[in-house]
Amino acid sequence: MTIGEKRQLVRAAMKAPYLTREEEMDLAIRWRDNRDEKALEKLSLSHTRLVIAVASRFRNFGLSLGDLIQEGHVGLLEAAARFEPERQVRFSTYATWWIRASIQDYILRNWSIVRGGTSSSQKALFFNLRRLRAKLSSNQTPLTDSELHQQIADAIGVKQSDVALMNARLSGPDTSLNAPVIDSEGSNADRQDFLVSDAPLPDEIVTGNIDTERRRKWLTSALKVLSERELKIVRERRLSEDGATLESLGAKLGISKERVRQIESRAMEKLKSALLAEQPDRAVYSA
């Protein structure tokens, strides 16, 4: 909506006559029962000033007032479609909720590229945080950030951590990862260039997984050359996180710890020979 279109809309809204309760009812019934376009046009035009008034309350969220008015008008038409004259409620009272809800939904969708305020409590926090913060900060007794957040959380019915997070989001605009910055050497760079991850690169992860799987297959195949007692000793001594001691294994098998050591040594030599037989060009194991 251009500035000229917005001014024209405001002038038309101010010139539109106020409706009596009976006129509202008549227009609403004509639109609901007969889909009378002229009745809808007159009903919506007479309440456009209400849309402008509600939209003006949300100017501090950095969005165009013209866009807010347009979204509010969508809510006004939704109210006209759902209005039930038989309930004896003024149309302006009913429409205010729909206008405000439409504008708030638009703000939540466009204020930030990060989606937020998906629950009713989060919406209440988003739209009331600034007002409550200003009100509590104006008290004579100074409050710490933690105390301020706790009082706001109690007033709205959310967690203190939610208040702190929302406060941080409202403290500054979104920043693009492609935003240009100047590094310490005076060179131009993107902000994302300074967000270095310590995690391995994707190709390193894939290579590591493949190598691990190959080694597992080689080891599984090589273990088949061991006897049952040798396999038990190797598993409990070398293939478990908490390796068993020679004493504990000797007690289980009914032999001395020196005998356990001898059997383990012989088993490891057999494993080495079996692994090198499968991969003679790779020293995949070292005793």
Among the listed residues 280, 275, 285, 244, the one whose alpha carbon sits nearest the alpha carbon of residue 261: 244
Q: What is the pLDDT of residue 100?
A: 93
Per the structure, the count of domains in the chain is 3
Tell me: do 216 and 154 sit in the same domain: no
Residue 185, domain member (yes or no): no
- Give me 230's structure tokens: 């040798």
The two structure tokens encoding residue 43: 């009903």
From 149, 170, 191, the end of a domain falls on 170
Which range is least confidently modeled, 45-49, 156-160, 230-234, 246-250? 156-160
Same structural domain, 222 and 274: yes
Beta strands in the chain (DSSP E): 180-182, 188-190
For residue 117, name the pLDDT band (cuts at 50, 70, 90).
low
Residues 161 and 231 in one domain: no
In a domain, residue 189? The reply is: no
Q: In angstroms, rounded to a whole number, what is the distance separating the alpha carbons of residues 24 and 30?
A: 10
The answer to whether residues 152 and 94 belong to one domain is: no
Report yes or no: 234 and 226 within 8 Å, Cβ to Cβ: yes
Confirm whether 244 is domain-assigned: yes
The H-or-E segment that residue 234 falls in is: helix 228-238
Q: In angstroms, what CA-CA distances link 31 with 83, 85, 98? A: 10, 11, 18
Range of the domain at 67: 3-110
| CATH code of residue 262 | 1.10.10.10
Question: Among 89, 110, 131, where does a domain finish?
Answer: 110
Does the residue 36 lie in any domain? yes
Q: Are residues 142 and 74 in the same domain?
A: no
Query: pTM here?
Result: 0.54
Whole-number pLDDT of residue 2:
67
Nearest Cα neighbor of 108 from 57, 68, 146 is 68
